Amino acid sequence: MRTIDQLSDELGGLAGRTVLVRSDLNVPLDGQEITDDGRVRASVPTITRLAREGARVVVCAHLGRPKGTPEAKYSLAPVATRLDELLDDDITVSFVEETVGDRATAAVQALADGDVLVLENLRFNPGETAKTDEERADFAQALAALADAFVSDGFGVVHRAQASVYDVPRLLPHAAGGLVVSEVEVMRALREDPRRPYAVILGGAKVSDKLGVIESLITVADRLLIGGGMVFTFLKAQGHEVGTSLLEEDQVDTVKGYLETAAERGVEIVLPTDVVVADAFSADAAHEVVPADAMPADRMGLDIGPDSEELFVGRLADAQTIFWNGPMGAFEMEPFAGGTRAVAQALVDRTSEGALTVVGGGDSAAAVRDFGHTDDDFSHISTGGGASLEYLEGKDLPGLSVLED
């Protein structure tokens, strides 16, 4: 991938150049309040660097899933405000309530060297997420017309063939931003040459969301620790009752195959020995700890139990490389947060001992921040849950392959 240094050399410097930066600013909001600004913080270094080199920085990003038309609740205005707070005081940040069009063009033309402009949500335009190159072409060309060069710095979207991710860099001199470069370096270390023992922790709701990564990591990892809602399909595959827990019945045979493959390859699959069950999906629900192989038929599992916490922490104690994607339970509700909290602390402890610890974005990243941990407590917190999983699966990521040109 071409770097910003190489792009600068190609253009004879960036001062006075308008650089369109595709950032990932898809943050969770409570009304107009950002509840986790991790992705905004991650965008700061590349934006700062470009501004310091005298570029006129135009930031584009998406927020939420609008259907190709403006929706006030998905406006990037509060994100632009937070970016302004995080950037140095001498960097001017403005926002325009349009992505392409006369107002956007005028706002770009009004920039001085070193200024930053945030465009409105890309997905307010149907061309951003259209399925074919032809459908995206007009929007991509309108975006490209705003700038002299393009920098891809949104790792969380590089697995999408979307206009701002895939089509625009085909129209402009382009480079990978610092965030994308660092994410790829970490993911490559996980996939190609991990220090051992290598432990992977997978959680979240569904096995089907992680089929590819499980199949891939069985050939690389030494241990797979399974928690979250997906664990109940594993327990069912072993013949256990799982009550009213999340269950993908159509994946039971697939999971049986994974268990057999792991046994053949000498890869340890670590499943919980006890489970916190409740009679409803509620923080106020009556709950208790039961053995994982003796779940009541009328209860749902919402977290791994205390014995499982000790088991998981113990199986991480000597790991030199750890990748974690997906919570161990419904961590948003305190009665069911113990497993996720224990895993987070185990990674913090291993980081202090020199292990490579990677939190794979998404709910895992949100959880560790909810628990009061900082990014520095881990080797790396990825900004792209889906992108990181697809990279580890070995898939071609359009937003990365286009940067290799």
User: Is residue 204 pLDDT above 90, yes or no?
Assistant: no
39 included as an active-site residue:
yes
Q: What is the mean pLDDT of residues 280-286?
A: 96
- Outline where DSSP puts E strands in 178-250: 198-202, 223-226
Give the mean model confidence (pLDDT) for residues 254-259: 95
- pLDDT (mean) for 274-295: 97
- In 156-265, the DSSP E strands lie at 174-176, 198-202, 223-226
Per-position b or e across 111-131, b if 16+ CB within 10 A of its CB? beebbbbbbbbbbbbebbbbe
Mean pLDDT across the chain: 95
Q: What's the confidence (pLDDT) of residue 405?
A: 67
Options 49, 191, 386, 395, the catalytic residue: 386
- pLDDT band for 339, please (50, 70, 90 cuts): very high
Q: Is 98 helix (H, G, I), strand (E, B) or coil?
A: coil
| Best CA proximity match to 392, nearest among 156, 206, 193, 187 | 187
Model confidence over 13-23: pLDDT tens digits?
A: 999 999 999 99
Residues 287-318 pLDDT 10s: 999 999 999 999 999 999 999 999 999 999 99
Catalytic residue among 2, 17, 22, 39: 39
Residues belonging to the binding site for ATP are 210, 301, 332, 361-364
Asked whether 292 and 271 are in contact (CB, 8 A), the reply is yes
Q: How far is it, in rounded angstroms, from Cα 350 to Cα 125?
A: 44
State mean pLDDT over 29-33: 90
Question: In 216-375, at which residue ranges do the beta strands (DSSP E only) sit?
Answer: 223-226, 268-270, 274-278, 287-291, 300-304, 321-325, 356-359
Rounded Cα distance between 17 and 98, Å, is: 21
What's the whole-number mean pLDDT along residues 96-115?
Answer: 98
In this structure, which long-range contacts are made by residues 289-294, counting pairs with CB atoms below 8 Å and at least 24 apart in sequence? Answer: 292/235, 292/240, 293/235, 293/238, 293/240, 294/241
Say how far residue 127 (Cα) sits from the centre of its chain: 23
CATH superfamily label, 187-393: Phosphoglycerate kinase, N-terminal domain (3.40.50.1260)
The residue with greater pLDDT, 48 or 28, is 48
Tokens 């937070």: give the residue. Answer: 82
How confident is the model at residue 363, as a pLDDT?
85
Q: Is residue 237 within 8 Å of 203, Cβ to Cβ?
A: no
Residue 185 backbone dihedrals phi, psi, to 5 degrees: -60, -45
Q: Which of 114, 127, 362, 385 is catalytic?
A: 362
| pLDDT-derived band at 179, boundaries 50, 70, 90 | very high
* 386 given a catalytic annotation: yes
Please report which confidence band the pLDDT of residue 169 belongs to, taking 50, 70 and 90 as the band edges: very high
Q: How confident is the model at residue 206 (pLDDT cuts 50, 70, 90)?
A: confident
Q: How many Cα atoms occupy the beta-carbon half-sphere of 78 within 13 Å?
A: 17
Residue located via tokens 């199986």? 315
Write the pLDDT tens digit of every residue in 313-334. 999 999 999 999 999 999 999 9
What percent of the chain has a predicted confidence (pLDDT) above 90? 89
Q: Compute the average pLDDT of residues 112-121.
A: 98
Q: What is the DSSP string of 320-355?
A: SEEEEES-SS-TTSGGG-HHHHHHHHHHHHHHHTT-
187-393: same fold as 4-178? yes
Q: What tens digit of pLDDT does each residue of 38-52 get?
A: 899 999 999 999 999
Q: Distance between CA atoms of 391 and 400, rounded to whole angstroms?
A: 10
Q: Report the binding-site residues.
A: 24-26, 39, 62-65, 123, 160, 210, 301, 332, 361-364
Question: Exposed e or buried b for every residue in 213-224, given b needs 16+ CB within 10 A?
Answer: bbebbbebbbbb
pLDDT tens per residue, range 355-383: 999 998 778 988 999 999 999 999 999 98
Ordered alpha helix ranges (H), 25-66:
38-52
Active-site annotation holder among 206, 212, 256, 395: 206
- Binding residues for substrate, as ranges, are 24-26, 39, 62-65, 123, 160
Domain ranges, ordered by start, for the chain = 4-178, 187-393
Residue 337, pLDDT above cutoff 80: yes
CATH assignment, 4-178: 3.40.50.1260
